[in-house]
Amino acid sequence: MPKRSGGRSPRSSAHSQAGAKSPARSSRTNSRRLPLLRRRWWALILGLGGVVLAIAFALAARYQPRAAKLRQAWLASEAGDWAKALELWHEVNESGQGSQDSLRGEARASLALGRARVAEQKLRAALKVYPADVELWQLLLEILRAEERTLELDELSWQAIDQVPADSRGLILRELTLGLLSELPDTVARRTLRRWSHSDPADDDARLALLRRIATQPRADDPSREDLLAELEHILSRRPDLLEARAVIVEALADFGEIERGRRFLLDWPPDRQDARFYRLRGRWNLEYDHKPEQAFDDLHRALEPFPQDWRTWYRLARTARLLGKREEAEAAANRVRRLREIVDPLVGGKRLDDALERLNEQPALQDLAALCRDAGLLRLANAWSQQASTLEKKAQGNAREAFPPS
């Protein structure tokens, strides 16, 4: 049988021909694919660009009204239109887009409208977010000082000093010093507190501060004793946790000569919340009504520990020491009374205090403030003022070295 020639089979030949044609076909296919890929890339780029533009427009639509409201709020504040300013600041803060400035603006507008209770709430909330903001602290401390909430003023002032920048601590020390060593004029204080309590009937703190002034410094046009006591009891019945209400009513009843009625409120003081106010009042009862000078001596000393500038308590301590035959202590306490009354006298220590507080950038003024506080027994505050003076001196020395470097 004859052998098949060694030539390739038709199938092999077909494969070879196909193989020979494949590079050209691949080239044409790739040439068709490249424009397609370009079109897809451009579509992707345009799509991403559209998304970016959409986000940009959405953000602009969201923040443009905020920016407009902020401008309107600033203008309303500058114009003294506090109602409009409060509305705008509140809208910005409630939208979740609030800032340090807007929170401060809402608190300031609330206070300008006499809504001290709401302002205090806003300030406390803002300070949780911005604890180093000295202006927020100042506004809060001004409210506490006007309402004579001395315990809170002292506690929060030291918290503020730990939080604010070092070069702003003098402003906090100023508020604390004024709160401890000065009193607002009665007319100014009454006008402020009356406005606050009328603007916000739920402001028990402002109302209590006003009622305390009415009880301790009565005027002819004040409410009657019965109306005053009825309102105090009403506040205490609604707010049994409000120790200041209990302290005011106990002191008022003592001043009015209703000793046993006052004793009942004093005995109901929560045992776990007995503070300087409680010991001051119990010391008065032990001294003047129950004739227990030994117990009074201990109570009055405990009342003076946080507030050594309280000259009225020193006066009672001087009487108590005299009854106990402690002549040296009685004389020392009496001298302290005279010195403290000079410090808080608006025409003596008050003038000196105001003058020094106006010159917080001068070392002699800071040293004078330290001396005043030391004379009043406020040693922690005196040390803080001394530290401010030392810091100012070091800063001045550093500036001098920079201005006149050694040759």
What pLDDT was estimated at residue 15? 43
Three-class DSSP category at 202: coil
Q: How many CB atoms lie within 10 A of CB 17?
A: 10
Report yes or no: 157 and 122 within 8 Å, Cβ to Cβ: no
pLDDT of residue 16: 45
The tokens describing 153, both together, are 């003023």
**Domain spanning 274-341, CATH class:** mainly alpha
pLDDT score, position 253 = 96
Q: Does residue 14 surpass a pLDDT of 50?
A: no
Task: Record the pTM.
Answer: 0.81
Q: How confident is the model at residue 34 (pLDDT cuts 50, 70, 90)?
A: low
Tens-place pLDDT, residues 305-350: 999 999 999 999 999 999 999 999 999 999 999 999 999 888 888 8
Burial (CB count <10 Å: 0-12, 13-18, 19+), residue 222 = middle
pLDDT (average), residues 108-119 = 96
C-alpha distances in Å from residue 24, one per residue of 14, 19, 81, 265, 385: 16, 10, 82, 108, 93
DSSP label at 307? -
Q: Which CATH architecture has domain 71-181?
A: Alpha Horseshoe (1.25)
On average, the pLDDT of the chain sits at 87
State the helix-helix crossing angle for 259-267 and 243-255, rounded to 10 degrees: 160
Q: Is the pLDDT score of 213 beyond 70?
A: yes
pLDDT the model gives residue 402: 63
Q: Mean per-residue pLDDT for 376-389?
A: 97
The whole-number pLDDT of residue 39 equals 61
pLDDT value, residue 346? 84
Contact partners, residue 406, CB within 8 Å, separation at least 6: none
pLDDT at 348: 85
pLDDT band at residue 2 under the 50/70/90 scheme:
very low
The band of 250, judged by pLDDT with boundaries at 50, 70 and 90, is very high
